[in-house]
Structures are given as structure tokens and as C-alpha cells.
């Protein structure tokens, strides 16, 4: 049986059986972006370390990833350490280190993750899923030359596709799209974390101009539990993203992800660097 490319991308090995906090991995060319791997899979790798850690309590509710540098091609070392465990929540510190061309080790990512033992309570979706055409009624986004990770997703923009006319005439920064893994794969927390970052930089849409841009920090909050992920199966998620302010070389981006049944599974907020 073949392994899905996403599972290969987030695969981690325990470096020493006596120390379950330290893992080794290798960046995946299947999810390559312009200067390194797609940041969503790097965030998912940080979460994967916690998901497979023997000390984990409950399921993830929050993931914050800070990108200190681009992850390069080749192996890396990841440390995932539970810094405090309470009755219902657990707090984790994660760090990825990679050796550069000179032989020096450098931190490329830091992250904090909170997991929790969920319990049944009253609940409500206060952010309803927008009314949009069904996934198969929307044309799939074309591949983008030189950006390999795009080929790992079936993305169908409903609104706010990448502007084809770059004339500075953008009016807003809202994108709505259907997305799922290609080939289809059952949804889990690492895959959901990656999909929270599938949106291209909002500044490209707001200005209708492509400029260098890259995520500095992203936080994803998980409203879904494992039961709701299982109900989502291999179906599409509807993603919506927008920026709220663009200023002094940085902009924010907020996003929501619903499954086809209209359940809000996750939200994210990120800060993105951009050049003129």
C-alpha cells in the first residue's frame, strides 16, 4: 500500500528511544514552495510531533508557529517538550533545528501547542458557512509553475482567485475556496493545520500586485474534535481568508475552515511580511 505524500512530509522518527522528546525528519520536495517547504506542512510537522508523543493529553486546541527562517532541503531535528500538564490542558514547546551549509545548527521554527481533554457542553456555530456553490460546481485552480505544493491540493476558488491582471486595482482581500488533499485523504489535525495556511498572500489580492511576502507567525485554533474530523472524512473544506490591515511591511490574515456539513472546524490568524 502506498503512503500519502502528506504522511511522508510530516513523518518523524524518534531520535533516541530513551528520549521521546527528540525527533528527526526530512523536508519534503513534494510540498516545496519558492524558497523552502510550504509553511503549512512545516506547522503540521510540529503538531505531528505532539500527536505521536507518548505523554500527550487530549487533542489540540491551539497551535502557534513562528518561522525564524526557511526550512531547507534535507534532514532536521525537532524537539517537542510538555512544559506543563494540568487536569484538562497540556502546554507544549516545540523547536526545529537544521544544520546549514557551514555546518552550524540554527533554529528555523519555534512553536507552542496546547492540547486539552475535551468534554461535552452546549455548543453553537456563531460564524455560519457562507452560501457558495458545491465543490464540483466550481472549476479547479490551475497548477502554478515552480510551486510544487499547490499540486498536492485540489483547490477550487469561489471568489478571490489569484489576480491575472496585476494593475493595482484590487478592491478587497477576501478569498473563498474549496480545498482537499489530492489525492483525497481522511482529515486529521496535522492536515487541518496545513490547510489553514493554503491561502496566497492577501496583499496580492488587495493590491492586485505580486510582491515578495512570507508568513512570520501563524496561530490556528481547533474547534473540531476527532469525531468531527472523522465525520468530515475525505470531503472538501470551505476556506475563507481576508486581511484586515496592511501597514509598514506587515499585514494580518484571518481564515476560517468549514466542512461540507457547515461545521466550523478551525480558524487561524497570521502575521505576514511583505515588500513594496
What per-residue confidence (pLDDT) applies to 255? 98
Q: Cα–Cα distance between 177 and 88 in angstroms, integer?
A: 35
What per-residue confidence (pLDDT) applies to 243? 97
Name the DSSP class of 139.
P
Average pLDDT value for residue range 63-83: 96
Quick check: 65 and 43 in contact, CB under 8 A? yes
Nearest to 115 by CA among 254, 221, 6, 229: 221
Angstrom distances, CA of residue 30 to CA of 9, 145, 151, 194: 8, 14, 8, 14
Which pLDDT band holds residue 165 (cuts at 50, 70, 90)? confident
What sections of the chain are H helices per DSSP? 5-9, 39-51, 189-195, 202-207, 226-232
**% of the chain with per-residue pLDDT over 90:** 86
pTM of the model: 0.95
Q: Cα–Cα distance between 74 and 53 in angstroms, integer?
A: 23
The length of the chain in residues reads 276
Q: Cα–Cα distance between 212 and 109 in angstroms, integer?
A: 20
Q: CA Rg, the chain, in Å?
A: 18
| Higher per-residue pLDDT: 101 or 193 | 193
Q: Cα–Cα distance between 187 and 157 in angstroms, integer?
A: 20
What per-residue confidence (pLDDT) applies to 164? 86
Quick check: 50 and 86 in contact, CB under 8 A? no
Identify the weakest region by mean pLDDT among 102-106, 158-162, 170-174.
Answer: 102-106
Q: What are phi and psi of 223, to 5 degrees?
A: -90, -20
The residues, any chain, with a CB within 8 Å of residue 34's CB and separated by 6 or more, are 146, 147
List, in sequence order, every residue forming a beta bridge with 108; answer none if it has no partner: none
Superfamily of domain 5-117+138-274: Acyl-CoA thioesterase, double hotdog domain (2.40.160.210)
Q: Cα–Cα distance between 159 and 205 in angstroms, integer?
A: 11
What per-residue confidence (pLDDT) applies to 2? 60
Which pLDDT band holds residue 103 (cuts at 50, 70, 90)? confident
Mean of per-residue pLDDT scores for the chain:
95
What are the structural domain ranges in the chain? Answer: 5-117+138-274
Query: Is residue 63 scored above 90 in pLDDT?
Result: yes
What per-residue confidence (pLDDT) applies to 172? 93
What per-residue confidence (pLDDT) applies to 101? 75
Amino acid at each position: 500500500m502506498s503512503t500519502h505524500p502528506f504522511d511522508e512530509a510530516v513523518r518523524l522518527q524518534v531520535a533516541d528511544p530513551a528520549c521521546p522528546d527528540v525527533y528527526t525528519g526530512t523536508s519534503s520536495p513534494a510540498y516545496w514552495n519558492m524558497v523552502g517547504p510550504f509553511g503549512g506542512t512545516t506547522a503540521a510537522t510540529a503538531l505531528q510531533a505532539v500527536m505521536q508523543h507518548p505523554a500527550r493529553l487530549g487533542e489540540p486546541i491551539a497551535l502557534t508557529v513562528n518561522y525564524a527562517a526557511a526550512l531547507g532541503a534535507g534532514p532536521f531535528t525537532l524537539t517537542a517538550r510538555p512544559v506543563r500538564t494540568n487536569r484538562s490542558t497540556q502546554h507544549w514547546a516545540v523547536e526545529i533545528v537544521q544544520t546549514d551549509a557551514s555546518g552550524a545548527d540554527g533554529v528555523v521554527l519555534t512553536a507552542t501547542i496546547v492540547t486539552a481533554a475535551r468534554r461535552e457542553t452546549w455548543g453553537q456555530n456563531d460564524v455560519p458557512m457562507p452560501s457558495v456553490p458545491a465543490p464540483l460546481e466550481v472549476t479547479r485552480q490551475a497548477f502554478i509553475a515552480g510551486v510544487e505544493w499547490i499540486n498536492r491540493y485540489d483547490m477550487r476558488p469561489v471568489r478571490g482567485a489569484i489576480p491575472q491582471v496585476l494593475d493595482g486595482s484590487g478592491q478587497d482581500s477576501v478569498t473563498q475556496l474549496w480545498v482537499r488533499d489530492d489525492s483525497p485523504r481522511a482529515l486529521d489535525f496535522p492536515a487541518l493545520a496545513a490547510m489553514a495556511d493554503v491561502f496566497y498572500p492577501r496583499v496580492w489580492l488587495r493590491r492586485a500586485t505580486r510582491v515578495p511576502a512570507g508568513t512570520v507567525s501563524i496561530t490556528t485554533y481547533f474547534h473540531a474534535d476527532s469525531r468531527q474530523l472523522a465525520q468530515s472524512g475525505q470531503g472538501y473544506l470551505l476556506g475563507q481568508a481576508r486581511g484586515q490591515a496592511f501597514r509598514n511591511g506587515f499585514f494580518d490574515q484571518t481564515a476560517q475552515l468549514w466542512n461540507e456539513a457547515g461545521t466550523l472546524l478551525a480558524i487561524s490568524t497570521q502575521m505576514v511580511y511583505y515588500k513594496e
